[in-house]
Amino acid sequence: MKKKVIGILVCMMLMAVMPAAAGLNCDTETTETKIIFNNEPEPEGLLDKTIMRGVVLFPRSTFGGEFRFFALRIHYTTIHMGGIKSGTILLRSITLPSIPNGFIGNFYIIGSFRGNLDAYT
């Protein structure tokens, strides 16, 4: 008897929540994937932070402190004062001004650094 009453209450709660959830809209500004290819790098803000993960080839650091790799597929998320921007980079050579914090393997990278990844592609 108790299981039947609890089941009926759960069903009533779900029926009340489903119309409310169906009316919600997803914010398309934060879920869009934008890749901008410019010759001019975007200015990096004081609070920009980029988290990236993906498959890379030839990761190496240079004598000037730069970090270079060839991105087969990199997914990145940049957090800045204006919001969150994410995207995917395919088949590009990338040079970063410093070595990212995180795991850098022979074929995979998971890391974060200060700045915007679009400025360095």
The answer to whether residue 34 sits within a structural domain is yes
- pLDDT exceeds 90 at position 55: yes
**pLDDT per residue over 10-52, tens digit each?**
777 766 655 555 544 444 444 444 444 444 444 555 678 899 9
Say how many residues make up the chain: 121
Q: Is residue 20 part of a domain?
A: no
**Residue 57: what pLDDT?**
92
3-state secondary structure of 93: strand
20 exposure class (CB count in 10 Å sphere: 0-12, 13-18, 19+)? exposed
Cβ-contact 78, 100 below 8 angstroms: no
Looking at the structure of the chain, the number of domains it has is: 1
- Domain containing 32 equals 27-120
Q: Is residue 4 in a domain?
A: no
In Å, what is the CA distance from 56 to each residue of 35, 75, 77? 18, 11, 17
